[in-house]
Amino acid sequence: NLNFHPSGRHFLQIPGPSPVPDRILRAISYPTIDHRGPEFGALGRQVLAGIRKIFKTDQPVIIYPASGTGAWEAALSNTLSPGDNVLMFETGHFATLWKKMAESLGIKPEFLGQPGIEGWRRGVQADRIEARLRADPQHLIKAVCVVHNETSTGVTSNIAAVRKAIDAAGHPALLLVDTISGLASADYQHDAWGVDVTVSGSQKGLMLPPGLSFNAISAKAINASKSAKLPRSFWDWTEIIEMNKTGYWPYTPSTNLLYGLAEALDMIFEEGLENVFSRHQRLAEACRRAVRAWGLEIQCADPAVYSPVLTGVMMPDGIDADAVRRTIYERFDMSLGAGLGKMKGRMFRIGHLGDCNDLTLMATLAGCEMGLKLSGVPVKASGVSAAMDYLASHTVPLVVKAA
Ligand code: PLP
């Protein structure tokens, strides 16, 4: 649809899939090997050990050859039974989709949230989860499910606070968390936060193409899986955990994506995981400064939970955000995220995750600024200048890496 012949690279600035670095693309291009042979076992053991460090867990992490949606289903079907009550929190479009999935699997989700779009501008309210669990003395609620980084809005929820809320209520519900778009971009601590199942995917902070997804699990989740009655076969953890002990899978795994994962883990550990997080925080702050300079509103209304992964930009009344995105795509060959669900046409989303640096972000913001002006959006001041000033005066805070 471009009205010119594109040269240079396409700017894929949606909040995932994120651009795949050349190093990873090259790794993925190695010849496929026998997934039952000795070489494969070494690869399997390497990625299974490495991915645990990303989730900050000593417990098993399951890797599925599937998109994130598959890992959502795996989390529910391994731990729950038909008719089970679960508590979910409406943070945005992805929380809504996970709830729909729960319903289609025969689980009974209760959706906490706020009317209109208000709840889509803030994170999970842990105090409301605590109050609801306190009102369940019979422990009918079997799980609390929340989205850590709501990709539809650019709001990151405080998972440690949700854990605290469950403990304060003295409730035995499992804690299931989706960090599909948060992992390897925003700090995440599966073990320290007492999460029972963490769901994630390959195509965001891990800088891989879509096609791998994850369940990090706890001993309590494994225990729950022994009595969980939802039908499952492909998603069942039991045989995978057993075969993973030697680096293999019960079926044919995505060998080439696992090469890519090994390379991605090397890249992340070379930079240092904490450095990856601070790089994301810094780029996100520069992006927010640009949005404020334009005089536009950031979708996330609570600075305590700004996402380091993406920024949601709300359009003034009467402006169709999809038309602005279309102009930017057609004129500058850049993809931005659309407003989803309740936010359709009202916002666009700028991804600043994964293989992203100062100049990637500056080019992205320049494309946005030119596109806003071309679309007739009143722009107060240069966001590009505001972001440049911030980046130039704030060097990357390097955290010393552990040996
Ligand atoms: N959950 C979140 C927070 C997401 O961002 C996405 C995808 O963007 C999904 C779930 C669904 O994952 P997938 O599209 O890989 O199936």
Residues 302, 359, single domain; the answer is yes
**Rounded alpha-carbon distances, angstroms, from residue 81 to 51, 75, 94, 156, 330:** 29, 12, 22, 29, 48
Domain range for 230:
22-269
- Ligand 1: centre distance to CA 16 (Å): 9
Residues 361, 301, single domain; the answer is yes
Is 286 inside a domain boundary?
Answer: yes
| pLDDT recorded at residue 403 | 46
pTM summary value: 0.97
Spatial distance between the Cα atoms of 17 and 365, rounded to a whole number of angstroms:
19
Beta carbons of 132 and 212 less than 8 angstroms apart: no
Domains identified in the chain, total number: 2
- Ligand 1: centre distance to CA 340 (Å): 12
Average pLDDT over residues 124-132: 98
Residues 389, 278, single domain; the answer is yes
- Ligand 1: centre distance to CA 39 (Å): 32
Beta carbons of 227 and 184 less than 8 angstroms apart: no
Cβ of 67 less than 6 Å from ligand 1: yes
Per-residue pLDDT tens for 188-241?
A: 999 999 999 999 999 999 999 999 999 999 999 999 999 999 999 999 999 999
Cβ of 377 less than 6 Å from ligand 1: no
Residues 34, 141, single domain; the answer is yes
- Name residue 112's beta-bridge partners: 89
Is 2 inside a domain boundary?
Answer: no
Residues 107, 41, single domain; the answer is yes
Residue of the CA atom closest to atom 12 of ligand 1: 68
Per-residue pLDDT tens for 64-74?
A: 999 999 999 99
Give me the amino acid identity at 401: K
Residues 27, 57, single domain; the answer is yes
Beta carbons of 156 and 308 less than 8 angstroms apart: yes
Which ligand 1 atom is the nearest neighbour of the CA of 69? 16
What is the bridge-based pairing of β-strands 85-89 and 108-112?
Answer: parallel
Spatial distance between the Cα atoms of 239 and 124, rounded to a whole number of angstroms:
34
Residues 152, 290, single domain; the answer is no
- Ligand 1: centre distance to CA 141 (Å): 25
| pLDDT recorded at residue 398 | 73
Cβ of 69 less than 6 Å from ligand 1: yes
Residues 278, 378, single domain; the answer is yes
Terminal CA-CA length for the chain = 50
DSSP assignment of 353-375, as one string? -SS--HHHHHHHHHHHHHHHHHT
Residues 100, 126, single domain; the answer is yes
Residues 258, 142, single domain; the answer is yes
Eight-class DSSP state of 306? B
Average pLDDT over residues 39-59: 98
What is the bridge-based pairing of β-strands 141-147 and 85-89?
Answer: parallel
Cβ of 71 less than 6 Å from ligand 1: no
| pLDDT recorded at residue 358 | 98
Cβ of 182 less than 6 Å from ligand 1: no
Residue 350 DSSP SS3: strand
ipTM of this complex prediction, to 2 decimal places: 0.99
Eight-class DSSP state of 4? S
Residues 375, 236, single domain; the answer is no
Q: Provide the sign of the torsion angle of the four alpha carbons 122, 127, 132, 136, taken in this order.
A: positive
Alpha helices in 184-337 (DSSP H): 219-227, 237-244, 255-271, 273-294, 321-332
- 402, pLDDT greater than 80: no
- 54, pLDDT greater than 50: yes
Per-residue pLDDT tens for 335-375?
A: 999 999 999 999 999 999 999 999 999 999 999 999 999 99
SS3 of 42-91: the string is: HHHHHHHHHHHHHHCCCCCEEEECCCHHHHHHHHHHHHCCCCCEEEEECC
Average pLDDT over residues 98-111: 98
Residues 243, 128, single domain; the answer is yes
The CATH code of the domain that includes 163 is 3.40.640.10
Mutate which of 156, 180, 188 for ligand 1? The one with the most ligand atoms within 8 Å of its CB, which is 180
Cβ of 54 less than 6 Å from ligand 1: no
- The confidence band for 396, taking pLDDT boundaries of 50, 70 and 90, is confident
Cβ of 209 less than 6 Å from ligand 1: no
Cβ of 180 less than 6 Å from ligand 1: yes
Question: Mean pLDDT, the chain, as a whole number?
Answer: 97
Is 6 inside a domain boundary?
Answer: no
